[in-house]
Structure 1
Amino acid sequence: MKIPLEEHLPYRLLALVVLVFFYIIYLLKMWAQKRQGICTQQIDRQKEPSIHRVEICMSIATVGIIPAQLLSIAFGWSYLPDSARFTGFCLGMLGDLIFLISVLCMRNSWRAGIPDKDRTELVTTGIYRFSRNPAFLGFDLQYLGVLLMFGNGLTAGFTVFAAVMLHLQILQEERYLTETFGTPYLEYRKQVFRYLGRR
């Protein structure tokens, strides 16, 4: 008798591995920067209203998706076949890896949100040679991976909401980087795609 793939691969555990690994990276990076006197969290800083609104909505989306993912995992809400679920695990782990590499390459210039007063460096080396926004790409792949593992209306809705808000945040950051770094950033934009690839 053939044993279903579900019994070989404990998808709830694998999905939790994707989430735990991702948020450990995020929290450890914030902790390491805090020990150096760097305020990573820039979202609640005073800014022009349009930037502030996007950042608040992005925060709601990226925090709100966590309980949606955890509820889906806890109750096993999945309407996708095992092949999609295994692909989701691989995609989620790829997102984690890309996120890890991006925060390591960004070093002390990494911030959550647009810096209010901090002066950071323009990072164009490492993984940033192939993506202008690898951390956001990592977020998106992690979200999509968990969605494929536990595909239902709740995770789908939050995944779309989070992806849209992250994209709007990228557009805000592009304006900020253009104003802050000028020609070097514009030249970088000509060479490297927003999410993945080079010209």
Structure 2
Amino acid sequence: MDAVLFSEIILMIEVLVHFVYQNYHLKTKGITVNCLTKGEKSEWVKLVEFWTKMSSSLCPLVLAISFFYHSFDLYTPNTFCQIFFLCILIFGVLFWNLAILTMNTNWRAGIDTTARTKLVTSGVYSYSRNPAFFGLFVQYISLALLNPNPLLLGFTVLSVVVLDLQTKEEEKHLTLSLGAEYTVYKDTTPRYILL
């Protein structure tokens, strides 16, 4: 099976699992997960969250275009590299999902200005303050290396920059809403693994 097609299937399964988790597990508990661009926020935060939403929404389209237009590829990874990048992609998918599951009812996409959630510092959150974003970075980068064309590489760079901006805005919000508890956590745990 073509490695790029396999990566598309992996991502479709990931989206389906996330959709089911979000809409059946959390929604039945009255939790609104998607807080992107919603609530009382500065225009800058809403802009960052808009581009975060666009990055997530456009990913399947960019991947589909990349899949059908291999003539734009900068190089073709050999079989070993394809298997390696697929393994890295699967790691990113698993890490992202583990981060979401560890957050449980505290999981939100975007800054939730209406509810006070508790700080989660166990599991993958003991290694990274933002393991979900780290998992997404790993996914985007592995996909770009698996299917190296200018469109996907540009989309990856843009997505990583936007998600990093989102991370910084969420950390500002957590510092304000959780105070010293978050500051101590921030001082002892890296933003991303090893960074």
TM-score over 0.5 for the alignment? yes
Q: Does 1:65 align with 2:59?
A: yes
Work out which of the residue numbers 122, 128, 132 in structure 1 matches 2:129: 132
Letter paired with 1:115: D
- Aligned match of 1:80: 76
Q: 1:84 Cα deviation (Å)?
A: 3.1
- Aligned match of 1:21: 13
Q: Does 1:43 align with 2:36?
A: yes
Q: 1:81 Cα deviation (Å)?
A: 1.9
Q: Does 1:56 align with 2:53?
A: no
Q: 1:68 Cα deviation (Å)?
A: 0.6
Relative to structure 2, which stretch is displaced further, 24-33 or 165-174? 24-33
Letter paired with 1:54: V
8 Å Cα contact 1:12/1:76 also seen in 2: no
| Moved beyond 3 Å, runs of 4+ | 74-78
Matching of residues 135-146 of structure 1 within 5 Å: 135-146=132-143
8 Å Cα contact 2:34/2:109 also seen in 1: yes
Distance 1:93 1:125 in 2: 22
Q: Does 1:105 align with 2:97?
A: no
Work out which of the residue numbers 22, 27, 33 in structure 2 matches 1:34: 27
Q: 1:179 Cα deviation (Å)?
A: 0.4
- Aligned match of 2:160: 163
- Aligned match of 1:4: none
- Aligned match of 1:12: 4
Relative to structure 2, which stretch is displaced further, 77-86 or 54-63? 77-86
- Aligned match of 2:120: 123
Gaps of 5+ in 2: none
8 Å Cα contact 2:128/2:191 also seen in 1: yes
Distance 2:115 2:88 in 1: 34
Q: 1:197 Cα deviation (Å)?
A: 4.2
Letter paired with 2:91: L
In the superposition, the TM-score normalised over structure 1's length comes to 0.89
- Cα RMSD (Å): 1.6
8 Å Cα contact 2:48/2:162 also seen in 1: yes
Distance 1:154 1:30 in 2: 30
User: Could you list the per-position Cα deviations for residues 57-82 of structure 1 after superposition, in whole angstroms to 9, with x for gaps in the alignment?
Assistant: 11112222221112212344542322
